[in-house]
Structure 1
Amino acid sequence: MIHIKNLNYYYKKNKPILQNVSSNLETGKIYGLLGLNGEGKTTFLKLIAGILFPREGNIALEQLKSTSRTKEFHAQIYFLPDQPLSYSLNIDKYVSIYSSFYENFSLDFFYQSLQDLHIDRNNSINSMSLGQQKKLFLAFALAANTKYLLLDEPTNGLDIPSKAIVRKLLAKSIDENKIILISTHLVKDVENLLDHLLILKDCELVFDMSTIDISNKYKFQYTTESITEALYQETSLANYKTITENVLQEESLIDLEVLFNAVQQNKL
């Protein structure tokens, strides 16, 4: 579990980035982290990863604080930034050097993922396109097989077939002992994978709910006419996208884009 309590962070005191953020992230789940640009999603991931330190509050991964920066701490966590650094190494050499930091690294999973993503393992990394490099480092991150995996915009810049493959790889990677936290603005790319949703707004964590609880509490529907009792409603070219209270406990597919827009407008 990741315990986050009264987390505050800022570069300048009069310009907070995160304020009084508290949450508990449970193992066995894939979390989605949403927010507008500049709302602190990347900062939040870096704080959990121990790259940045909280100004106030604390983060603990089981018994390990994110401020410890011990070998034991870093062996359990992998943070993949939106734009990973390039290297003047071929793929095999890169893996032989950096996989040693992760005791549960799976070479079989890594090379199978490269195959699935159509990446030639003989390539030099800095000769690859940015999209190919992104797929390479995502395959490495998943193969590292760490207990905590933090992904910053993992599908940004990928083509449609690659996004589908990445979804399959992510689904394969989660188990009851792991936590995967995905920061994204491309919610359609990962919405079917998510077990829990976190939304940052105005420096605070304003939404923290499992997809099961969301389905039980809210009903999502598309209608040709406006619904007066709607909690939130927006129009598209052909219909109304609506959120209502799920009084009758009816099943409906969660529309994360509509949910996100409703939270942004303080409707939920």
Structure 2
Amino acid sequence: MIEISNLTFGYSKKKLLFKNLSLKLQMGRIYGLLGKNGAGKSTLLKNLAGLVFPLEGYCQLKGYRAADRLPGFLQELFFIPEEVYLPGSTAIQFAKSTGHFYPKFDEAYYFQMLAEFDVPQSSILNNLSFGQQKKVMIAFGLATNTNLLIMDEPTNGLDIPSKAKFRKIIAAALTEERCIIISTHQIRDLDSLIDSLLVIHEQEMVLNKSLEEIAERIHFSSSAPMDKELIIYEEANKIGLNTMSINDKEALSKVDMELLFNAIINDHKSVTNTLK
């Protein structure tokens, strides 16, 4: 389990990004982390990875505190930032020089993922396009087999076929011993991949629910319900309305994550109160 406890962080004490933020994340899940620009998504991921240090509180993985950056912690976490910088070596050389830091690194799986992404093993990494470099990092991160895999905007730079491959590969890589966190603005890219949703807003984690839990409480539709009092949020589209309403029936609808996010930004209490 990954735990964040009373996390308070700011790049200056006068302007905090988080204050007393707490949550627990479970293994065997793919979390989507959403938030407005500047809400602190990337910074939260860096706290989890031990790359920045909280003013108060802590992040913990398997009993290790992230800020201590002990070897046992670093071996169980891999972080793929939004901007990647790879060395002037081949993918094969990169595996030889870096893979040994991860006890469960699977070199054969790494090369298999490179082949899936159409990245030649002999290419000089820093000569590759940004999208190809992203694919190398995703392939390597998956091959480390760490308990926690963190990805910040992983689909940026990927073309449409590569995004489809990414979704397929990530879904297949999830195990009961692994937790995957993906921060993104491209909600539609990950619509069929994410099974749990995190939303950070106004220094708080206002949502931490599985899509199944959300669908049980909220009905998503392209038409308004007969009972207007059930409506939580509505948004005009080209042909009518997209609506969120209290689910008073047993039928489950597909969660519209973009609509849900917009509803939370508009009035997060009405959404979170429904989901309690």
Residues 215 and 255 of structure 2 are in contact (CA less than 8 Å); yes or no, is this contact kept in structure 1? yes
Q: 2:25 is matched with which residue?
A: 25
TM-score by length of 1: 0.97
CA RMSD in angstroms, aligned pairs only = 1.4
Q: 1:47 is matched with which residue?
A: 47
Query: 4+ residue runs of structure 1 moved beyond 2 angstroms?
Result: 224-229
Q: 1:122 is matched with which residue?
A: 122
Q: Residue deviations 1:143-196, cap 9 Å, x none? A: 111001010001112111000101111011110011101111111111222221
Residues 9 and 17 of structure 1 are in contact (CA less than 8 Å); yes or no, is this contact kept in structure 2? yes
Are positions 1:152 and 2:156 aligned together?
Answer: no
Q: Provide the secondary structure at the position in 2 that maps to 1:199.
A: strand
Are positions 1:221 and 2:221 aligned together?
Answer: yes
Q: 1:235 is matched with which residue?
A: 236
Work out the CA distance in 1 between the residues paired with 2:250 and 2:91.
51
Work out the CA distance in 1 between the residues paired with 2:132 and 2:36.
26
Q: Provide the secondary structure at the position in 1 that maps to 2:193.
A: coil
Q: Residue deviations 1:206-262, cap 9 Å, x none? A: 111111110101000012899733100001111211000011121100000000000
How much does 1:108 deviate?
1.8
Q: Which stretch has the larger CA shift, 225-234 or 240-249?
A: 225-234
Residues 167 and 193 of structure 1 are in contact (CA less than 8 Å); yes or no, is this contact kept in structure 2? yes
Letter in 2 for 1:3: E
Q: 1:261 is matched with which residue?
A: 262
Q: 1:64 is matched with which residue?
A: 64
Letter in 1 for 2:95: V
Q: 1:244 to 1:75 in 2, by over 3 A?
A: same
Instruction: Map 1:86-235 to 2 at 5 A.
Output: 86-223=86-223, 228-229=228-229, 230-235=231-236
Structure 1 or 2: larger helix share? 2
Q: Which runs of 5+ in 2 are unaligned?
A: 272-276
Work out the CA distance in 2 between the residues paired with 1:108 and 1:62.
27
Q: Which stretch has the larger CA shift, 244-253 or 254-263?
A: 244-253
Work out the CA distance in 1 between the residues paired with 2:222 and 2:234.
10
Residues 226 and 240 of structure 1 are in contact (CA less than 8 Å); yes or no, is this contact kept in structure 2? no
How many positions carry a matched residue from both structures? 268
Residues 3 and 23 of structure 2 are in contact (CA less than 8 Å); yes or no, is this contact kept in structure 1? yes
TM-score by length of 2: 0.94
The percent identity for this pair of structures is 37
Work out the CA distance in 1 between the residues paired with 2:224 and 2:46.
44
Work out the CA distance in 2 between the residues paired with 1:241 and 1:156.
27
Work out the CA distance in 2 between the residues paired with 1:75 and 1:108.
19
Letter in 2 for 1:245: I
Letter in 2 for 1:97: S
Instruction: Map 1:242-253 to 2 at 5 A.
Output: 242-253=243-254
Letter in 2 for 1:39: A
Q: Which runs of 5+ in 1 are unaligned?
A: none
Residues 225 and 245 of structure 2 are in contact (CA less than 8 Å); yes or no, is this contact kept in structure 1? no
Q: Provide the secondary structure at the position in 2 that maps to 1:99.
A: helix
Residues 34 and 198 of structure 1 are in contact (CA less than 8 Å); yes or no, is this contact kept in structure 2? yes
Residues 225 and 239 of structure 1 are in contact (CA less than 8 Å); yes or no, is this contact kept in structure 2? no
Q: Provide the secondary structure at the position in 2 that maps to 1:108.
A: helix
Q: 1:231 to 1:225 in 2, by over 3 A?
A: closer
